[in-house]
Amino acid sequence: MIDFSPEFLNVLKSAKRVAVLTGAGISAESGVATFRGKEGLWAKFRPEELASADAFMLNSALVWEWYQYRRDIIDKVQPNPGHFALADMEKHFKSFALITQNVDGLHRRAGSQNILELHGNITRNKCFNCGKPFIDEINLDQKKPPCCNCGGKIRPDVVWFGETLPQSEFEMANEASATADLFFAAGTSAIVYPAAGLPMIAKRHGAYLVEINIEPTPLTDMADSFMQGKSGEILPEIVKWLRK
């Protein structure tokens, strides 16, 4: 049983508008490696070296292979108690927005409804050249990106470093953050902008800011409550309080 502060519990009980920003840490307990973790096959690459148009132009097979590797993992894993708690939390508030930087689709699989996917979704593909969605099924053994009718290479429909976020999702995320009275940042290193700016927008507009992470981040000093630990353990405990 986690000992939440009375201040947090008061805010939780009275909140009407809640927004949550999630990052790779929320899927860690499902077995999806985070971007900046030190474990794993791909740890020798920085995310910027793989998740960018420059990287794809330089070595499309390498970038494609990394995404195929991630897709293979995502196919095999299941949402964890953190994902399920957020899907449940949504039912308790008048307004609830789940803003995620994750491309793994696990929030949807856990039953969340109002999801804003700021960095796209790894299950979709599009042409690197003309941008047209590519709807053919991708075989996970495919080592190189297929080609579009226009001759361009196919890439995952995710947002890469240097690219702009999907405009309507980002506008809705901004709005949800600016109008939230309670904001959770869970499992994110809070260093990749513009997503990392959303908790600050929320705080500036008066939201109570809660951070859930296994370790401190650049956001921690600004948080009204820093809950150190695993999101898959802390979020279900929060939902228990909502059910009381």
- What positions carry a catalytic annotation? 119
- Residue 88 lies near ligand OAD (rule: CB under 6 A): no
Q: Map residues 193-212 to x or -, x wherever contact with ligand OAD holds by CB under 6 A.
A: -------------------x
DSSP state of 139: P
Interatomic CA distance for residues 80 and 215, integer angstroms: 19
- Residue 23 lies near ligand OAD (rule: CB under 6 A): yes
| CB of 24 vs ligand OAD, minimal distance in Å | 3
Residue from 19, 29, 148, 199 in contact with ligand OAD (CB under 6 A): 29
14, 128, 129, 130 from 134: Cα distances, Å: 45, 10, 12, 11
29 vs 90, beta carbon nearer ligand OAD? 29
Instruction: Give the DSSP letter string of 142-207.
Output: --S--B-TTSPBEEEEEPPBTSPPPHHHHHHHHHHHHH-SEEEEES--S-STTGGGHHHHHHHTT-
- Residue 215 lies near ligand OAD (rule: CB under 6 A): yes
- Residue 184 lies near ligand OAD (rule: CB under 6 A): no
55, 102, 163, 236 from 223: Cα distances, Å: 35, 22, 28, 20
- Residue 138 lies near ligand OAD (rule: CB under 6 A): no
17 vs 101, beta carbon nearer ligand OAD? 101
Q: Which stretch binds ligand OAD (CB under 6 A): 25-33, 53-61, 66-74, 83-91?
A: 25-33
| CB of 228 vs ligand OAD, minimal distance in Å | 9
Interatomic CA distance for residues 26 and 74, integer angstroms: 13
Q: Which of 5, 6, 15, 2 is nearest to 208 (CA)?
A: 15
- Residue 105 lies near ligand OAD (rule: CB under 6 A): no
Residue from 12, 25, 116, 128 in contact with ligand OAD (CB under 6 A): 25
Residue number, nearest CB to ligand OAD: 25
Cβ-Cβ contacts under 8 Å for 117 (sequence gap 6 or more): 100, 102, 103, 166, 169
Residues in touch with ligand OAD (CB under 6 A) = 23-25, 28-29, 34-36, 47, 51, 101, 119, 159-161, 187-189, 192, 212-215, 217, 230-232
